[in-house]
Amino acid sequence: MGSKGVTFDDCGIADLAAVVESLTATLAHASLTGFSDAEVVALMQQLETCKRKLSALDSKLIVEVSDRSLPETSGAGKLIPFLRHTLGLSAHDASVRVRITRQCAEFTEPTGHLRPAALEATADALQSGEISRDHARNIVDIMTHLPGDIPTEARAEAEALLVEKSCAGLFPDDLPKIGREIMARVDPDGTVFSDADRRRRRGIILGRPGVDGMSWIEGWLTPQLRALLDGFLAKFARPGMCNPEDVDSPTVTTPVVDSDVLEAAARRDRRDAGQRTHDAFAALLQPGLDPSKLGSHRGLPVGVLFTIDVADMERGTGIATTATGGHVSISEALKMAAGTKPYVAVLDSDGIPLFLGRGPRLASPGQRIALVARDKGCTHPDCDAPPSMCAVHHVNDWANNGPTDLDNLTLVCDHHHALVNDGPTGWKTVMLGKDSPHRGRVGWIAPKAIDPSRTPHVNEKHHVGPLVATSIAARCREWGPRAA
C-alpha cells in the first residue's frame, strides 16, 4: 500500500478497503512458480500475519454496529443473528467474534469516556498479528472462567503469560490444557468447576433408530469415565484392531497381539477414527468379555494410570493427569484408586526396582510409569502425543550398548520414532547434562539440513501448562488470600 502512496490522510476507510480487495485479487492470481521453497514459506507467514491483523478489525466493526443499534433496527434483534445474516457466518463463528469483541475491544461509556479492553494484552497481540483468532478465543475462554475473587494482579499475569506463550509459538489447541492446569491450581476447592457440577451434567442420549436402523448418540462424559475409556480405546481403537471387515484383525479376545500381525492389519485398515472407536465399543460389549483380561498397551495394563504431583496430594486438591493426557480431580482419582494414595511410583506393585541396569531390552512397567511422570508424552519438539500413543526409546541405542536405564530411556510416538537414524536425514536424541537448563530432559538434534547448528531442543508442550499454572498460583498466594 505504501508503494501506491496510499495513506489515511489521502482517502477514506472505504477506499482503503477497496485497495485491500484489489491487492487480494492480485495475489490470488499471481504465479508462485518462481519462488523458492523458503520464499513460499515466508510468503505464507507474511500473509498469515496480514490476515490476523485484518481479523482484529472485526471487533472494531462489531462495536460500531452495536453502538448504532443496527441489530435492533435491522430486525435481527441481537448481534449474533445480525452477523450471521449480514456476513453469512455460522452460529459458532458469529458467537466467537462477539465473545472476543466483548473482552478485547474498547467501548464507549454512556459518559462518552472510552473504556479500555478487558483483556488488553490479548487485544494488542491480536491487533499486531502475533496471535490468531483461535488463540484469542481460547485465552478469552480461560480468562472468563477464572474465579472472580482472584487478585487483579494475578489475573493480569495469567493473561500476560498466556499471551506470551502464544506469541512464542504455542498452538491454540494447547491453550485449553493450560487453562485446565491453571483452574486446578487457582480453584483447588472446585468453586468454579466442581465434581458435583460435572456429575449433574453427565449423560448419554441414544436417539431412536432411523429408517436405515442407524442411531445417533450424544452426551457429556465425566472426567472419570473419559479416563476409563481412554485407556481402553488407546489399544483397541488403534488402526488394525477390532476391524469387523478383516478376519485377521486382532480383537479384545486375542491373547497376545503380535506386532507384525497388527502392523499388517493396520496397513489394510481403511476405517476413520470414528469408525474405529465404534468398533472398539462393539468389541467391549460382546458377551463373556472379562475386562481384567484385556492385556497391556505400550507395556502397561489397559486401564487408568494417574500421575499426581506430591504437593497436590498433600493438600488433597488439584488434578491427576492420565496417560492419555486427560485430567481428573485428586478426590475423584483417589476414589478410583479405591482409597489409596498413588504417589509418583518409584517401585511397581511388586516392589521391583525401576533402575534395572543392563538387564532386558524392553522397559519394565515400573519404568514406563516413571517415564509417564517425567516426560508426560512424546519428547520430540512440538509433538503433543500423550504417553498412551508413545513407545519407549533408547536415547543411546540398545544395539550400541545403550542400557535400559531411566537415564537412557524416553517416550516417543511412532511417527517421530521412525525419524531417528544415523543417516544424513535422521534425527538424534541425547540426554542433556548438568550444564543444560533442561538437565535430565531428552534433547532432539535435527538433521543438518534443518538445523546446521545441530542444537538439541526439548519439547515444552507437555510441561508449559504446569509451569504457567504453578507460577500463577504462586502469585495468587503472594498477593494475598482469596475472598471467602
Confidence of residue 124 (pLDDT cuts 50, 70, 90): very high
Helix (H, G, I), strand (E, B) or coil at 89: coil
Which cell numbers hold the place of 83? 452477523
What single DSSP character describes residue 113? P
Which of 2-11, 83-92, 330-339 is most confident? 83-92
Q: How far apart are CA 46 and CA 28, in angstroms?
A: 15
Q: Pick 9 or 177 by higher pLDDT.
A: 177
Q: Find, among 470, 473, 474, 462, the residue nearest to 170 by Cα.
A: 462
Which cell numbers hold the place of 434? 548438568
Q: How far apart are CA 161 and CA 469, in angstroms?
A: 9
Tens digits of per-residue pLDDT, 308-348? 665 565 556 666 666 555 666 666 666 655 444 333 332 23
Confidence of residue 349 (pLDDT cuts 50, 70, 90): very low
Which cell numbers hold the place of 419? 525419524
Tens digits of per-residue pLDDT, 260-275? 888 899 999 999 989 9
Bridge-based pairing of strands 409-413 and 390-394 is antiparallel
Tens digits of per-residue pLDDT, 214-255? 888 889 988 778 877 877 788 888 899 899 999 889 888 777
Decide: residue 53, CB within 10 A, 0-12 exposed, 13-18 middle, 19+ buried: middle
Quickly count: other Cβ atoms within 10 Å of residue 44's Cβ.
10
CB of 100 closer than 8 Å to CB of 140 = yes
Which cell numbers hold the place of 161? 503469560
